[in-house]
A and B are shown apart, each in its own frame.
Chain A
């Protein structure tokens, strides 16, 4: 059996196994079937309105993200700015920020706006804040999917379109030229934004505490779900079973659409390898717009950083470094920021080392299957993305219920959290490498094969060399996601003795905040994470190939 096939089969098993373990256990405890449970959702406090709320939030978040993201992608793709790479990094960083920090940042921002307009925020204001937070978080998806394609479309085609009767006005050019060209990328990014908003947890939990989406409902019930104490675990098991089923079906549908659309987007021949962007100064209307967008992106980050320096004392907030001192000394947490950062970096490096070859082989399998068996290629593409869409609750339950029962020692191994990190990062490696592979000239490989070069030599001398920029980008993305990963670690890592920086932040935030140092210490740890991620992204951005195929 080829190594590639072995990798594909292993991946499928690794993704499915926790799900099967979790579902099996939930089924044992649940007394009713899924349809009965879903029909009863609105009659129970725990689940009331959760399905409606989940869909509404995901849909409107998607619309708002497109409204914000598409003009941004246009301005970054069609125009050349001073500090262009820096700007691209700024707009991408939100996607890898731990959502718990984003929630804190937006809440601090909301407070600041409340002071400005002297208004106490209502549930309605919080709902809109949630939509903006989702848009902030996911705008990178729209930019990364659309901007590379926009930046490499030869200007001569647009000029030609202007001469045609149907290309006279901006609207007609949008309708007959840009939309037909861009819609697969727009739709694919929309599908992913929908998925991420659908499965959002920390943002919903903190920003709209009065509402619950399906992910929050599941997290609330996860404690008792699947346990062999029917008197306490029947209702939680039923709720998790039904919620996860609705979630999985919806997400599979959205991901299938995204994958199909992405496969439609390759094959456009309007692309040019030369940079066709026009240089624009910041002192223009377009420049002002871009700076406003930068402000939108950095505002929650600034509010997070400033919160780390503010501490309450005798009924007022004062400037203090005590939060930072506490974060570095570990006086209010199980470990200090140095130790946590060390664990985070170790896990991030290990994740890169494992995720990169795994993602490369999966991307190569999909790439080869696209030529021989396109249907299976689409299936595998969706399957690769599936872990991103799976509820952390289900994965956590599967791992914990499966491993803790059978191999308890294994459940506390250092590599178990690595499993969670691999599940979350490998899809991104595939998303970066697959379009780059599609853009490679196949004749180079064929010519080398004819000259007698074996697979390994062709891989090292041709493919890896040509894919180097994309590999560097994938490395940075995996490193940053792993560094900021919170959900899976929170579920699984807590059973090990290793505390990463996001877990340290979660620990500080989960304790009652009577002690005024706890929250600033959490914000200080968050600031460290933010700055590292920002520096990493800015330094790696220059390696990203121009027009890298229109995916992440």
Chain B
């Protein structure tokens, strides 16, 4: 065969191959339209939501409903996406909007009612909201954790008031999260607003405390991971890349030391600090979004999430307390022993919704 003819055949073969690849590839990526039916739920959740594919497969096998979870950052990200896609039907359920954001969500009118028996929930889970637009699935208090190695080693008195953290022994050694960019940061910030409005000192408020903290070189990070994993000396971060460990106190959950103990063979130096009113009771909700017409499937999923079978395991699935009555965190490896249930601040979600913008503006200025 002449070389020219050979080249021609080669070129033709190449063209045919290319056309075949072009026509096959879009087929490899299944179009979303094919899965949009009543037996398919599209859920938006925060990144750290711990339900695994294994759990979801289990749900699908039981109910015949397939589930697709889309991650949208933190609780704020879930809410902002839910507001953006309001009425679109893009997502059926939103997982993870907490009580610090719930007021805004209710104001934005993005939820539809769910049919769930609320008598199954603990009073703690229903303390912020007991309606049928947002169903609690786990709870946990946000509070200060400290490294007992530092407190015991330096012979420092365990703080009994938030003002203690403005003293020289805590200078540059306390890590908090930016309340504009982090859910635990926002929760703790709200707790400080309430704490200083109810303390015995009427001359000072949260702005004064934050100003003093700024002068005391408080470490402010954009997210929980950086403050806990990179800065906090008492957590698992000490085994992570890029660990600094300059903070001996951090804002986290009151049961974080319990989780540390659970993975550390019942050993941790981290301790949750129980200062009355200086912690925020975070309650996470699942809600049925406006625009979705899959009410039946949505109710089945929510009932499954708050069922004893799944919800009782929340302390290992999602590192939070179950929302249903009669269940707590497990006792294995000192998980429960190292966890603290504090006396939380008491603030209404409507109060948060109407004031949060001005509180945050004041914080921005106090910290600059």
Counting chain B residues whose Cβ lies within 8 A of the other chain, the interface size class is: 35 or more
List which A508-548 residues lie within 8 A (CB) of chain B: 510-516, 519
Q: Assuming the A-B contacts A44-B368, A207-B242, are A235 and B361 also in contact, with contact meaning beta carbons closer than 8 angstroms in the complex?
A: yes
B164 at the interface (CB under 8 A from A): no
A-B contact count, CB below 8 Å? 176
What residues of chain A lie closer than 8 Å to B225, measured between beta carbons?
A: 510, 512-513
Contact yes or no, B319 A45, CB < 8 A: no
A281 at the interface (CB under 8 A from B): no
B367 at the interface (CB under 8 A from A): yes
Per-residue contact bits, chain A 225-239, to B (CB 8 Å; 1 contact, 0 not) = 001110110111000
A58 to chain B minimum Cβ distance, whole angstroms, is 20
List which B217-258 residues lie within 8 A (CB) of chain A: 219-222, 224-226, 228-231, 236-237, 239-246
Contact yes or no, B263 A515, CB < 8 A: yes
Contact yes or no, A104 B72, CB < 8 A: no
What residues of chain A lie closer than 8 Å to B360, measured between beta carbons?
A: 235
Which of A104, A108, A350, A498 is most buried by chain B, counting CB atoms within 10 A of its CB? A350
Which of B31, B83, B241 is most buried by chain A, counting CB atoms within 10 A of its CB? B241
| Segment from B20-28, B121-129, B302-310 that makes contact with A | B20-28
B161 at the interface (CB under 8 A from A): no
CA distance A228 to B365 in the complex (A): 24
CA distance A169 to B222 in the complex (A): 54
Please pick, from A48, A220, A346, A353, the residue contacting B28 in the complex, using a CB distance under 8 A: A346
B48 at the interface (CB under 8 A from A): yes
| Number of A residues with CB within 8 Å of any CB on chain B | 73
Q: Assuming the A-B contacts A353-B25, A404-B85, A404-B90, are A220 and B53 also in contact, with contact meaning beta carbons closer than 8 angstroms in the complex?
A: no
A365 at the interface (CB under 8 A from B): no
CA distance A353 to B24 in the complex (A): 12
Q: Assuming the A-B contacts A44-B368, A120-B245, A496-B32, are A223 and B76 also in contact, with contact meaning beta carbons closer than 8 angstroms in the complex?
A: yes
| Segment from A74-82, A253-261, A331-339, A375-383 that makes contact with B | A331-339
Q: Assuming the A-B contacts A46-B364, A48-B368, A516-B263, are A408 and B243 also in contact, with contact meaning beta carbons closer than 8 angstroms in the complex?
A: no
CA distance A346 to B73 in the complex (A): 26
Contact yes or no, B88 A404, CB < 8 A: yes
Contact yes or no, A104 B222, CB < 8 A: no
Contact yes or no, B319 A350, CB < 8 A: no
| Segment from A155-163, A311-319, A451-459 that makes contact with B | A311-319
* Closest residue on chain B to residue A234 by CB atoms: B357
CA distance A388 to B316 in the complex (A): 42
Please pick, from B84, B181, B229, the residue contacting A513 in the complex, using a CB distance under 8 A: B229
B68 at the interface (CB under 8 A from A): yes
Please pick, from B221, B228, B243, the residue contacting A111 in the complex, using a CB distance under 8 A: B243
B226 to chain A minimum Cβ distance, whole angstroms, is 5
Contact yes or no, A220 B221, CB < 8 A: no
Per-residue contact bits, chain A 209-245, to B (CB 8 Å; 1 contact, 0 not) = 1101000100011011001110110111000000000
Contact yes or no, B222 A350, CB < 8 A: no
CA distance A121 to B361 in the complex (A): 33
List which A81-114 residues lie within 8 A (CB) of chain B: 104, 107-108, 110-111
What residues of chain B lie closer than 8 Å to A510, measured between beta carbons?
A: 47-48, 71, 225
A349 at the interface (CB under 8 A from B): yes
Please pick, from A110, A349, A409, the residue contacting B242 in the complex, using a CB distance under 8 A: A110
CA distance A404 to B90 in the complex (A): 8
Per-residue contact bits, chain B 285-322, to A (CB 8 Å; 1 contact, 0 not) = 00000000000000000000000000000000001000
B29 at the interface (CB under 8 A from A): yes
B156 at the interface (CB under 8 A from A): no
Contact yes or no, B264 A223, CB < 8 A: no
CA distance A307 to B241 in the complex (A): 9
What residues of chain A lie closer than 8 Å to B243, measured between beta carbons?
A: 111
* Closest residue on chain A to residue B77 by CB atoms: A223
Contact yes or no, B53 A227, CB < 8 A: no
* Closest residue on chain A to residue B80 by CB atoms: A223
Contact yes or no, A498 B70, CB < 8 A: no
A494 at the interface (CB under 8 A from B): yes
Which of A45, A108, A332, A515 is most buried by chain B, counting CB atoms within 10 A of its CB? A45
B201 at the interface (CB under 8 A from A): no
B178 at the interface (CB under 8 A from A): yes
* 21 residue pairs bridging A and B, Cβ less than 8 Å apart: A44-B368, A108-B242, A205-B222, A216-B222, A223-B77, A232-B104, A312-B239, A314-B265, A314-B267, A334-B69, A335-B53, A404-B85, A405-B84, A413-B31, A497-B35, A511-B47, A511-B48, A512-B225, A514-B259, A516-B236, A516-B239
Interface residues, chain A, with chain B CB atoms under 8 Å away: 42-46, 48, 104, 107-108, 110-111, 120-121, 205-207, 209-210, 212, 216, 220-221, 223-224, 227-229, 231-232, 234-236, 307, 312, 314-315, 317, 330-332, 334-335, 343, 346-347, 349-350, 353, 400-401, 404-405, 408-409, 411-414, 460, 494-498, 507, 510-516, 519
Nearest 8 pairs between A and B by C-beta?
A107-B242, A408-B88, A45-B367, A107-B241, A408-B90, A510-B47, A312-B239, A108-B241
